[in-house]
Structure 1
Amino acid sequence: MKISLGLIYGGKSAEHNVSLQTALAVTKALNTEKFDIHPIYITEEGEWLRGEKLTEPVSNVKMLQFEQNAKTFLPTSLNESMFSAACIG
């Protein structure tokens, strides 16, 4: 059984682009045979967006900025059980 992992990155800070680069490195390092990786992108405006589950490492940062095809994700206590682990980049 795979572990569901929420990868949270981006955010309203001067380190936004650094966080994107870190998330890119994390997707390349994680074994997709062991983890279901669920990307959660926080835009520079502070909106939380959930992308499709990653089935392979992404090749560039633009693929992590999925503002067009994403679902808005609201961080509340109702969502806490969604993932068994979280990696903040």
Structure 2
Amino acid sequence: MRGEFDALGYRADFEEVQVESTSENVVAYARESDGERVVVVLNFGHEPEEVGLPGERTEASDRLRGERVASEGGVYVENAVILPAG
């Protein structure tokens, strides 16, 4: 996965991303390198969560599994998703 996205490499910049979620088990961060940006959303809970990402323009497909994760309120996260952003 790191070979596919420079933004996931160790030299990439890190930024915490605010999420809209009813769960305290969800965190998100962005990584950016050479103009490439991805948003990683992690769900540490036992149930899938719908997560809003205000201020982030992301694609609706998870690059981790190649599935669409868009929902009415943002993205649907079971465990983790990696979303190209821009």
What TM bracket, shorter-length normalisation? under 0.3
Larger relative contact order (CA 8 Å, sep ≥ 6): 1
Instruction: Name whichever structure is richer in strand by fraction.
Output: 2
- TM-score, structure 1 normalization: 0.26
Instruction: Name whichever structure is richer in helix by fraction.
Output: 1
